[in-house]
Chain A
Amino acid sequence: MKNHTANEVQASAITEYFDGIRDAAPVLVAVVPFSILFGAIALDKGLSFAEMLLASLSIYAVASQYVMLDLMGQKLPVWLIVLSVFALNFRHVLYSAAIGRKLSHFTGFEKTIAFFLLVDPQYAAAEARSLIKKLTPAYYFSYAATVYTTWVLTNCIGGLFGKLIENPEIYGLDFILPLYFTALVVGFRSTSGFLWVASGSSVISLLIFFTIGSPWHISIGGLAGLAIAATLSRPEETSHG
C-alpha cells in the first residue's frame, strides 16, 4: 500500500512536469524570434558575445534588454539606464505580490529562484494553473526551465549566426504574445468584478499610452484595474481566502 502511494506521488510529479512543458510550448514560438533577434542586435550594437550572454542569463526580461541596449547606444548615464529598466519592469512588483501568496509552500530557496524567473508568461501561466489546482514547484519550474533554456540557447544562435529570421511578422509571430495574453486574460473571466476590472484597465492603459506614453500604460492601467477591484470588494467575499 505504501509503495502504491509512493508511485502515485511520483506519477503526479511527472504529470506536473509534463503539464509545465506542455503549457510552455506555445510561448516558445513567440520567444524564439525575439530571442534570436536580441542575440543578433546585441552584438551588432557592440556587446561581446559574453556580455550578451550575461545580460540574458542575469536580466531575463526581453523588453528591458532591448531598452538597455538602445540607451547604452545613446551613451546615457548609468543611473538613467537602470531607472528606465526599473520603470519598465514595475509591473513585476504586482506579479510578485500576487503570486507570492500561492508560493507559500515553496521552500525559501525555491522562492528565491521562482521570483527570478517571474517573466510575464510565467506569471500568467502560474496564476492560470492555480485556478484549476495547487501550484506545485514541479509545474512552476518545468515551465520556467523550458522557457529559460530556450531563451538562452536561441540567444546564442542569434549571437552566432545573426539575423536568421528576416521577416518574423509574415507568420504573425510578432503577435503571438499579445494573442496569448488575450486568451489568458479570458481565463480569469470568472474572478469577481472581471468585466469592470478589464474594461477599466484597458481604458486607462490606452489613455496613458496616447498621453504619457509607453511603458507607463502597463503599470498605471494595471493599478487602475486594482483600484476598481478594491472599490468593488465586499468584506464577506474574501473571508475564505
Chain B
Amino acid sequence: MADAVTIIILCAIATYVTRTGGHIVLSRFGTLNHRLEAALNAVPAAVLTALVAPYAVTNGPVEGLAILLSLFFSWRFSMIHGIIAGLVVLGLYRNFI
C-alpha cells in the first residue's frame, strides 16, 4: 500500500477534477443548445433532490416527517422556517418520546 500522503493527494486531484471538469467541458461548447441550457438550469432541483430523497425514507417515520415539514414550511414561509420546523420535530421526538 502506497503511503497515506500519496493517496490523499490523488484523492484531492480526483475531487478537483470533478469540481472543474463540468465547467471546462462546457466552456468548449460556445453557444448552448436550449435543451442543454434547460438541463443545466435544472441541476440544483435535480441533484439536491436526488441527494435528499433517501434521507426522507430510510431513517424512520419521524425523520421522514421532518423532511416533509421542512418542505412545507419553506414552501409556505421561508427557508429558515423550514429548517427550524424539521429540527424542532426531530429534537422533541429524540429527547422526549
Contact = CB atoms under 8 A, between A and B. Distances in A.
Nearest to A97: B22
Interface string B30-51: 0010111111111111111111
B46 to A, nearest CB: 3
Interface of A: 26, 47-48, 51, 54-55, 58-61, 64-65, 68, 72, 75, 78, 81-83, 85-86, 89-101, 103, 111-112, 115-116, 118, 120, 123-124, 127-128, 169-172, 175-176, 178-189, 191-194, 197-198, 200-202, 204-206, 209, 214, 217-235, 237-239, 241
Given A185-B48, A225-B45, A118 B94 contact: no
Given A97-B23, A179-B70, A59 B8 contact: yes
15 contacts: A75-B1, A78-B7, A89-B14, A92-B19, A124-B48, A172-B90, A175-B90, A178-B55, A178-B67, A179-B82, A182-B71, A194-B45, A225-B45, A233-B38, A235-B34
Contacts of A123: 44
Contact of A221 (B11, B35, B49): B49
Given A175-B63, A214-B54, A95 B47 contact: yes
Nearest to A199: B49
Contacts of B9: 54, 58
B34 A182 contact: no
B4 interface: yes
B77 to A, nearest CB: 10
Given A116-B19, A175-B63, A82 B14 contact: yes
A58 to B, nearest CB: 4
Contact of A225 (B16, B47, B82): B47
A96 B44 CA distance: 11
